[in-house]
Amino acid sequence: MAVVSARPPGSRPRRRGRWTPYALIAPSVIAMLGFLVYPMGSVIYYSLQHYNVTKPWDNGFAGLENFARLLFDDPIFWQSLGFSLKWVVVQVVLQFLLGLALALIVNESFVGRAISRALVFSPWAVSGVLTTAIWVLLYNPFTGISRYLADLGLMDYGAAPLANPGTVFWAAVVAELWRGVPFFAILLLADLQSVSKDLYEAAAVDGAGRTRRFFHITLPHLRDAIILSTLLRSVWEFNNVDLLYTLTGGGPAHQTTTLPLYVAALAAQSHDFGYATALTTVAFLILTFFSIAYLRLSKFGVKA
Amino acid sequence: MSGRRSRVSRWQIYVPLALYLLFTLVPFYWMLVFAFRPAGSTAVFPWPVTFEHFATVWNGMGFAVFFRNSLMVGVASLITTTVVALAGGYALARYAFRGKGAFMVGMLCTQFIPGALMIIPLFEIFRTLGLTNSLWSLVVAETVFQLPLSLILISGFIRNIPYELEQAAWVDGCSRLRGFLAIVLPLLRPALVAVGSFAFIHSWNNFLFALMFINDQEKFTVPVGLAYNLGENSVDFGALAAGGVVAALPVVVVFAFIQRYLVQGMSAGAVKG
């Protein structure tokens, strides 16, 4: 923070200046309190209630009954939690590795770099629903790539990756990778561009090869960006419902239901808000503890 | 530089790049083929070109209305997000005040509040405010979830503008507001373009809020309309693809416009906090 050595003329510094920052942040604070903090509080409140708009006669204080039901009495909770975990790990690891590779490639100088960057980054701006629309066309046995490959005699007709329990997971993973990799590529490229060229040249003079320079200069430089982007992406992938909701609907047989997807379905279909908010509370606790642990264990912001 | 380049041979760049471009572009291309070729055709080129599917979705399926709704929500979210984030970002960058640290931490923490899980309480709030089934509910929800990152990004940008420039303007007799408008705002243009575009794209793409808060088909947004196309029992693939192109168009235009700023914007603000 720079020391203020000049002041706008006519302003009585102490009196007026003191309230200006509060006035400036007031809209943000009100928005956050009203539409994030208060709702979060009400989630916790409802989670201790029986609350179902279609069964008002049952409503009332529930204590920890909702939580007991979720822990001991709801196999779909455990299944969806397990799938959420698998989904997040697979997505974040693959998106990160491919995104890093892509960032390193488009950070080199070559003919056609600007247009290549624009093209490979473009799925970043595509919505989950649109991704589904596109990949439904690609995966459909009648309209998809597989039909044309079958026409050429390269594979059998009738491959339907989304309907087949053995392939639906990877079909969804590939579709999400398509639009997820650019996020990492963009963030990591931004950070790559701030690596000092002198460092590379000094290392090259000292005889360090490409691999050594990558592991001793590039990766350490990217460290905080990697920690933050993987964390943000984990939370985002955990919460992201658009793609799975429209692509698989969580099926077949809850096989691709994440925890938020389960909550959304509960709220929309059974109107069991009390139980759904208990699930929400648990999901929020999991995310909070995960985030704190991740930042602590990865020593974010601590210089290596 | 030339010594470094000689060590990465051309094919080490072009082969993986070409493969990845194929993975990126084939899906887009597939959508275009289905959107522009006549129903019943099996050609792998969109030829002969037809606009029948666009007529179907635009007029018959209501995409003209959905498009207008999405556009209104997108522009309103862009304006509210940018203005509120600009005020807060300026306070963070230029003032030392009590509670600043708490405010920063609070902003960062909201990043972990899952939008999908806030549907129920937000629905209750909008019902109290009489905003259910109103496009304003989407503007509010969109702004709230876009705000933290936008604010942090903008304050990062403002911090990069030398304070001395503003102070010099004060010495010349400008008020703080005039100094801000005359000095800071013009220099912030790339940041505002980035933040505004993020807000617009996010709002344009948002599905869950629109699905949950809006019942009236006259107020559907494009993603909801698209999802309804997907849900039909016998999917009209031409119409699905044409709806996809309509959904993609504004975002592609905005993206083409901002993608040069995208990487700069990220390096200036987001990662560095």
Q: Is the pLDDT of residue A193 over 80?
A: yes
Is residue B42 domain-shared with residue B168, that is, in the same domain? no
Among chain A residues, the shortest Cα distance to B228 is held by: A246
Q: What is the pLDDT of residue A194?
A: 78
What does the DSSP 8-state code read for residue A272?
B
Cβ contacts of B111 on chain A, cutoff 8 Å: 232, 235
Is residue B111 domain-shared with residue B226, that is, in the same domain? yes
Neighbours of A141 (CB within 10 A): 15
Q: Which helix (H) or strand (E) holds A50?
A: strand A49-50
SS3 of residue A283 by DSSP: helix
Cβ contacts of B229 on chain A, cutoff 8 Å: 133
Number of H helices, E strands in chain B: 14, 0
Q: Is the pLDDT of residue A10 over 70?
A: no
Given B13, B28, B50, which residue is the final one in a domain? B50
Among chain A residues, the shortest Cα distance to B271 is held by: A225
Q: Report how far residue B211's alpha carbon sits from residue A238's, in angstroms, rounded to the nearest whole number.
A: 19
Contact at CB, B270 and A4, closer than 8 angstroms: no
Cβ contacts of A242 on chain B, cutoff 8 Å: 207-208, 223
Is residue B67 domain-shared with residue B25, that is, in the same domain? no
Q: Is the pLDDT of residue A2 over 60?
A: no
CA distance A64 to chain B (A): 19
Cβ contacts of B148 on chain A, cutoff 8 Å: 32
| Lowest-confidence region among B38-42, B81-85, B240-244 | B38-42
Per-residue pLDDT, averaged over A17-45, amounts to 89
Q: What's the whole-number average pLDDT of chain B? A: 85
Q: Report how far residue A147's alpha carbon sits from residue B41's, in angstroms, rounded to the nearest whole number.
A: 14
Q: What is the pLDDT of residue A146?
A: 79
Is residue B101 domain-shared with residue B214, that is, in the same domain? yes
Q: Is the pLDDT of residue A187 over 80?
A: yes
Q: Is the pLDDT of residue B56 over 60?
A: yes
CA distance A177 to chain B (A): 10
- A121/A252: higher pLDDT: A121
Is residue B116 domain-shared with residue B243, that is, in the same domain? yes
| Lowest-confidence region among A20-34, A123-137, B129-143, B258-272 | B258-272
Q: What is the pLDDT of residue B271?
A: 41
Is residue B119 domain-shared with residue B152, that is, in the same domain? yes
Q: Report how far residue B39's alpha carbon sits from residue A210's, in angstroms, rounded to the nearest whole number.
A: 53
Q: What is the pLDDT of residue A65?
A: 82
Cβ contacts of B7 on chain A, cutoff 8 Å: 210
From the list A105, A124, A229, which residue is nearest B17 (CB)? Answer: A105
Neighbours of A229 (CB within 10 A): 26
* pLDDT range class, residue B268, cuts 50, 70, 90: low
A69 CB-side CA count, 13 A: 16
Residue type, position A245, single letter = Y
- B178/B268: higher pLDDT: B178
Contact at CB, B85 and A28, closer than 8 angstroms: yes
Q: Report how far residue A130's alpha carbon sits from residue A141's, in angstroms, rounded to the nearest whole number.
A: 19
Contact at CB, A36 and B118, closer than 8 angstroms: yes
Is residue B264 domain-shared with residue B242, that is, in the same domain? yes
Is residue B146 domain-shared with residue B173, that is, in the same domain? yes
Q: Is the pLDDT of residue A87 over 60?
A: yes
Residues B89, B77 contacting (CB under 8 angstroms): no
CA distance A178 to chain B (A): 7
Instruction: List all residues 6 or more positions away from A290 whose beta carbon is below 8 Å from its beta carbon.
Output: A234
Size of interface A-B (CB pairs under 8 A): 284
Is residue B110 domain-shared with residue B239, that is, in the same domain? yes
Given B50, B66, B81, which residue is the final one in a domain? B50
Taken in order B174, B180, B185, B186, the sign of the CA dihedral is: positive
Among chain A residues, the shortest Cα distance to B15 is held by: A105
Is residue B88 domain-shared with residue B172, that is, in the same domain? yes
* pLDDT range class, residue A218, cuts 50, 70, 90: confident
B201-218 per-position pLDDT tens digit? 999 999 989 988 998 889
Residue B161 structural domain: 57-270
Q: Report how far residue B218's alpha carbon sits from residue B66's, in angstroms, rounded to the nearest whole number.
A: 8
Is residue B82 domain-shared with residue B34, that is, in the same domain? no
* pLDDT range class, residue A268, cuts 50, 70, 90: confident
Q: Is the pLDDT of residue B235 over 90?
A: no
DSSP string covering B127-152: HHTT-TTSHHHHHHHHHHHHHHHHHH
Q: Please write down the long-range contacts of A18-22, taking CB distance under 8 Å and 24 or more positions apart.
A: A18/B97, A20/B91, A20/B95, A20/B176, A21/B91, A21/B95, A21/B97, A21/B100, A22/B91, A22/B97
Q: What is the pLDDT of residue B272?
A: 41
CATH number assigned to the domain comprising residue B76: 1.10.3720.10
Q: What is the pLDDT of residue B265?
A: 63
Q: What is the pLDDT of residue B4?
A: 47
- First-last CA distance in chain A: 25
This prediction has a pTM of 0.87
Is residue B100 domain-shared with residue B197, that is, in the same domain? yes
Q: Provide the domain count of chain B.
A: 2
Contact at CB, B113 and A40, closer than 8 angstroms: yes
